[in-house]
Amino acid sequence: MVRLLRGGSTTIILGLMALMLLAACSSDGDDESTSGAAAPTAVPATAVAPAPDAKPTVEKLVISDAIPSVESNNPWKLENPRTPYYMRPMYESLIGVDALTGEFVPQLATEFSVEPDGTSLRFILRKGVRFHGDNGEFTAADVVATHANSSAEDSVHTHRTQYRRVTVEVVNDYEIVFRTDVPNPELIPNISERNTISMEPYSAKDMAALGGNPDLSSRLPAGTGFYEYDDRFQGQFFRMKRVPYQHWE
């Protein structure tokens, strides 16, 4: 039985009805939420593709150029100082050149100076420099042999005339003096790294084993550079490889 109240009765009855409806709705929703909640859907894991087989790293540089006008395994005697530029990684100079400033710096010689006579040059050679292969260490004897080759009577090397005016005086295994009878301001640049093959020492021992003047059926004598001779075929290719030991530099 509902008792009707005057004045604000309608408002009160409507308010009570609204509360009842809200309670009923709330109860129904709670029941559905409790009993009918769906389980979380599992997300399938993404399949990871197998890594491809690692390819071996091939460290090779190939340079293409015109065929040299002259090819030789004795460029100290038979070529000019810059034509065999591709041999530069195999041989080193007594005097290096700074790549940024162009100044002369030590290389196979740790020190070099002009003698009081104003014409001669004294060199202190670097110790512990290894020649390629089983050819021992670099000493004054290798400079003497290289100079004799370039200044020989049958030499056609561009600097042969200048080198014929030089006498190599050996003080000891690691000290030499280039004696000249006249001042020659070109001597230091000529024997420096500015040239490729111009008094760059090779192994005297190895050159002797090659007969002293190897032709193209043979090979180049051992040097001291980062790379050593591997193979060549006249007019087709010249190949060298990195030395299998720690280079002195």
Q: What confidence tier does 11 reach under pLDDT thresholds 50, 70, 90?
A: very low
Structure tokens of 71? Answer: 């090819």
Using the Cα atoms of residue 166, residue 173, residue 213 and residue 76 in order, give the sign of their dihedral.
negative
Percent of the chain scored above 90 by pLDDT?
Answer: 69
Cβ–Cβ contacts within 10 Å for residue 163, how many? 25
How far apart are alpha carbons 38 and 62 in whole angstroms? 67
Domain ranges of the chain: 93-221
Whole-number pLDDT of residue 181: 86
State the residue for tokens 């043979």.
218
How far apart are alpha carbons 124 and 84 in whole angstroms? 27
Q: What is the mean pLDDT of the chain?
A: 85
Q: Summarize the confidence of residues 206-232 as an average pLDDT.
A: 97
CATH tag, 93-221: 3.90.76.10
User: Which one-letter DSSP state was computed for residue 67?
Assistant: P
Q: What is the pLDDT of residues 156-171, one digit of tens each?
A: 999 999 999 999 999 9
Q: Is the pLDDT of residue 194 over 80?
A: yes
Q: What is the pLDDT of residues 26-75, one digit of tens each?
A: 444 444 444 455 555 655 666 666 667 777 677 889 999 998 888 999 99
Q: What confidence tier does 86 reach under pLDDT thresholds 50, 70, 90?
A: very high
Beta strands in 2-148 (DSSP E): 95-97, 104-106, 109-114, 121-125
Whole-number pLDDT of residue 25: 46
